[in-house]
């Protein structure tokens, strides 16, 4: 009865990251500058970005998130993510459709331990008093350009960053599975604002034409300490997640 | 309590079937002696609730019943949904049509799905609700009314018709998270519990409400000190059968409720914004707890209702079906058994309504 995703898992299998070790220890990322722009997306096309085991939010929505990490176990790096809001069983999260990362060491660790589907690219995140902007380029080609304007301080530090779900392969010849990573964020400071997406190439993020922003939601720019938790739940990417959820011991 | 949840796949008859089934349940509930039928207001909540015009559903209820009270609630008190003038007008008409059987529940919605769909500003809904609950009873009771406010203004006009109940129908507010009971109590409004929190949490909320309402400044012409809460209900002679059916209710409800988007997922909001009923339903996986839940054989149900009663709950609102997962014949049978075996253990409810003049 319920609406589920309709991502062609077989088509995605070839580019699914291979988990060589499922993340058991959390990573603490310090001094993370995060530009997070959330948008409703066209539902029918958006469903094709989500594995059949997950359900979309109603309305369908996604996030374009650009982060610059000052301190991590593999040194500084920058990451640009395309996320789609999902429900894993009855819990809200984001399915990571695709990502760009500027650090080979971070790309490798994120892929092998958490299943992040990262490709290499250049990322610039700039913050000014009244605005913030991000540009992502692949081999000199701009694939994402975001601007947040009319910055205004947000009350409190309670910004919502739910868990991230990745599609990965468990070992080189292992099965495809979904892995859920809990995210904890503590913002030292955050501003809201209006955003504009002035350039976007979904192909660079593995979304093709399916990620179609349709109605703006919220956007923030802030500085946070983010903990990428140990993978806590896995699920079959094809069966309804509520039937195949497995807690990682 | 009726949300009119309509399962996919949708056919031409789907919604009509659900609504007709609900009307039959209301008619039977009236005959059996149940006290209230509540109808919620929701918009855009696919499958979960197709109850966007509760005033029309309740009008139909009024036409097929004789004595059961009609709870219009909650009415969303946000300008992008309805002007307070329209709320005062249509509730007065419904009160007349029902012969003075209306209760009015107020609230402010909780999902991005609905609020953004209506173009409402999340951070202002608490304030607009506060303005609405203060002016609506004045529109009902004053011959002519004028107002200059933040969310709406009007020159002097007679808001018509006037309610049949005098001075006006009882007013409630949805209490979905700790803290809202304070808003209810301070304004002399009934506490319409709509969350499935633990009994210990709800007991604290009720005690707080009872304490504060003693010194309230009522927004209406009288204080409606009344506490209601909500539960799924399925009653069967065999407890195991009841539990199996109850599992269907919970299993059908929770995934649907979880699918809607809440403001914190979409936009950072002030911490005062309530996550609401849907968020509460997301908590935890696995089978529903038995404590406090009105699913079981009559013995279990009486025990749990007594427990609620001892905590200070005056009324238990019952959700009878979700996406039609319980066959209609079973819902009606459950209602009949409840009336036969459970009613004798309780005194008739004290009506929240003032006596009609």
The secondary structure of B164-210 as a DSSP string is SSSS---EEEEE-STTHHHHHHHTT-EEEE-----HHHHHHHHHHHH
Alpha helices in A39-171 (DSSP H): 43-47, 104-114
Express each pLDDT in A12-26 by its tens digit. Answer: 998 899 999 888 899
Which chain B residue has its CA at the smallest distance from A245's CA?
B285
Share of chain B above pLDDT 90, in %: 78
Q: What is the pLDDT of residue A1?
A: 65
Mean pLDDT of B143-155: 96
| A-chain residues near B265 (CB < 8 A) | 38, 57, 61, 85, 92, 160, 162
**Looking at the complex, does the CB of residue A97 fall below 8 Å from at least one CB of chain B?**
no
Residue B244: its H or E element? helix B239-258
Q: What is the pLDDT of residue A145?
A: 98
Asked if B264 lies within 8 A of A160 by C-beta distance, the reply is yes
Express each pLDDT in B218-250 by its tens digit. Answer: 999 999 999 999 999 999 999 999 999 888 998
Given a cut of 50, is residue B26 above it in pLDDT?
A: yes
> What is the pTM for the complete model shown?
0.90
Asked if A2 lies within 8 A of B254 by C-beta distance, the reply is no
Confidence of residue B49 (pLDDT cuts 50, 70, 90): very high
Mean pLDDT of A79-89: 94
Asked if A2 lies within 8 A of B46 by C-beta distance, the reply is no
| A-chain residues near B282 (CB < 8 A) | 90-92
Confidence of residue B328 (pLDDT cuts 50, 70, 90): very high
Mean pLDDT of B203-211: 92
ipTM computed for the complex = 0.89
Please list the residues that pair with A86 across neighbouring strands: A56, A93
* Min Cα–Cα distance to chain A from B129, Å: 22
- Using CB atoms within 10 Å of the CB of residue B214, give its burial: 0 to 12 exposed, 13 to 18 middle, 19+ buried: exposed
Mean pLDDT of A228-241: 92
Asked if B265 lies within 8 A of A59 by C-beta distance, the reply is no
**HSE-CB of B55 using CA atoms within 13 angstroms:** 17
Find which of B266, B271, B274, B284 to mutate to test the A interface (most A CBs within 10 Å of its CB): B266
- Residue at token pair 């069967």: B236
- What topology does CATH give the domain B14-345? TIM Barrel (3.20.20)
**Looking at the complex, does the CB of residue A225 fall below 8 Å from at least one CB of chain B?**
no
Find which of A41, A54, A59, A241 to mutate to test the B interface (most B CBs within 10 Å of its CB): A59
* Min Cα–Cα distance to chain B from A219, Å: 7
- Shortest CB distance from B259 goes to which of A57, A162, A242? A57
Helix and strand numbers, DSSP H then E, in chain B = 12, 10
Asked if B255 lies within 8 A of A2 by C-beta distance, the reply is yes
**Would you say A57 and B261 are in contact if contact means Cβ atoms under 8 Å apart?**
yes
d(CA B345, CA B310): 13
Cis peptide before B337 (omega within 30 of 0): no
CATH architecture of A9-247: Beta Barrel (2.40)
Mean pLDDT of A125-138: 96
Q: What is the pLDDT of residue B97?
A: 98
User: Which range in A17-31, B153-167, B269-283 is most confidently predicted, on average pLDDT?
Assistant: B153-167
Given a cut of 80, is residue B115 above it in pLDDT?
A: yes
**Average pLDDT of every residue of chain A:** 93
Q: What is the pLDDT of residue A143?
A: 98
d(CA A66, CA A22): 24
User: Which range in A149-153, B252-256, B339-343 is most confidently predicted, on average pLDDT?
Assistant: B339-343
Q: What is the bridge-based pairing of β-strands B69-76 and B102-107?
A: parallel
Q: What is the pLDDT of residue A203?
A: 96
Cis peptide before A59 (omega within 30 of 0): yes
Q: What is the pLDDT of residue B330?
A: 97
Please list the residues that pair with B174 across neighbouring strands: B192
Task: Indicate the DSSP class of residue A127.
Answer: E
d(CA B126, CA B124): 6
Cis peptide before A64 (omega within 30 of 0): no
- Shortest CB distance from B268 goes to which of A56, A92, A159? A159
Given a cut of 90, is residue B196 above it in pLDDT?
A: no
Confidence of residue B352 (pLDDT cuts 50, 70, 90): low
Express each pLDDT in A25-71 by its tens digit. Answer: 999 999 999 999 999 999 999 999 999 999 999 999 999 999 999 99
Give rounded-to-5 percent helix, strand, coil for chain A: 10, 55, 35
Q: What is the pLDDT of residue B271?
A: 40
d(CA B314, CA B227): 5
Helix axes of B14-32 and B54-64: crossing angle, nearest 10 degrees: 50
Q: What is the pLDDT of residue A202?
A: 96
Domains of chain B: which residue ranges?
14-345
């Amino acid at each position: 009865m319920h609406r589920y995703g309709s991502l062609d898992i077989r088509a995605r299998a070839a580019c699914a990251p291979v988990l060589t070790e499922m993340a058991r220890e959390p990573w603490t990322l310090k001094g993370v500058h995060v530009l997070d722009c959330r948008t409703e997306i066209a539902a029918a096309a958006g469903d094709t970005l989500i594995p059949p085991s997950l359900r979309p939010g109603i309305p369908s929505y996604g996030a374009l998130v650009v982060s610059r990490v000052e301190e991590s176990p593999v040194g500084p790096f920058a990451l640009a993510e395309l996320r789609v809001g999902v429900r894993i069983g009855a819990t809200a999260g984001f399915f990571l459709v695709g990502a760009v990362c500027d650090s080979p060491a971070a790309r490798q660790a994120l892929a092998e331990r958490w299943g992040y589907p990262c490709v290499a690219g250049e990322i610039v995140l700039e913050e000014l008093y009244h605005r913030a902007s991000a540009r992502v380029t692949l081999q000199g080609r701009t694939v994402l350009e975001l601007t947040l304007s009319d910055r205004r301080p947000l009350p409190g530090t309670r910004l919502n960053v739910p868990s991230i779900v990745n599609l990965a392969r468990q070992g080189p010849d292992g099965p495809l599975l979904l892995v859920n990573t809990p995210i904890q964020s503590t913002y030292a400071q955050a501003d809201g604002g209006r955003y504009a997406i002035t350039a976007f190439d979904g192909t660079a993020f593995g979304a093709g034409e399916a990620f179609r922003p349709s109605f703006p939601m919220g956007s923030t720019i802030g500085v946070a300490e983010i903990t990428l938790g140990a993978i806590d739940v896995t699920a079959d990417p094809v069966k309804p997640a509520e039937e195949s959820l497995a807690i990682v011991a | 309590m009726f949300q009119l949840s309509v399962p996919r796949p949708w056919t031409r008859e789907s919604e009509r079937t659900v609504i007709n089934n609900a009307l039959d349940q209301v008619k039977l509930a009236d005959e059996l002696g149940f006290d209230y039928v509540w109808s919620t207001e929701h918009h855009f909540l696919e499958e979960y609730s197709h109850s966007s015009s509760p005033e029309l559903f309740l009008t139909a209820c009024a036409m097929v019943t004789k004595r059961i009270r009609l709870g219009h609630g909650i009415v969303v008190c946000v300008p992008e949904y309805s002007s307070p003038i329209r709320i005062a007008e249509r509730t007065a008409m419904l009160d007349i049509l029902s012969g003075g059987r209306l209760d009015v529940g107020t609230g402010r919605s909780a999902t991005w799905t609905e609020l953004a769909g209506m173009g409402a500003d999340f951070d202002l809904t608490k304030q607009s609700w506060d303005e609405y609950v203060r002016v609506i009873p004045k529109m009902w009771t004053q011959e002519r009314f004028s107002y200059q406010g933040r969310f709406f203004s009007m020159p002097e006009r007679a808001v018509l018709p006037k309610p049949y109940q005098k001075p006006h129908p009882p007013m409630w507010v949805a209490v979905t998270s700790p803290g809202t009971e304070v808003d209810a109590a301070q304004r002399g409004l009934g506490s319409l519990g709509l969350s499935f929190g633990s009994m210990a949490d709800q007991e604290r909320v009720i005690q707080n409400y009872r304490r504060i309402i003693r010194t309230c400044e009522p927004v209406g012409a009288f204080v409606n000190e009344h506490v209601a809460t909500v539960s799924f209900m399925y009653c069967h002679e065999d407890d195991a059968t009841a539990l199996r059916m109850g599992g269907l209710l919970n299993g059908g409800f929770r995934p649907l409720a979880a699918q809607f988007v809440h403001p914190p997922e979409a936009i950072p909001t002030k911490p005062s914004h309530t996550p609401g009923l849907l968020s509460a339903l997301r908590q935890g996986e696995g089978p529903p707890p038995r404590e406090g839940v009105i699913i079981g054989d009559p013995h279990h149900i009486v025990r749990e209702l007594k427990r609620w009663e001892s905590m200070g709950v005056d009324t238990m609102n019952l959700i009878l079906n979700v996406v039609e997962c319980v066959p209609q014949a079973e819902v009606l049978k459950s209602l009949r058994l409840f009336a036969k075996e459970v009613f004798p253990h309780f005194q008739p409810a004290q009506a929240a309504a003032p006596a009609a003049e």
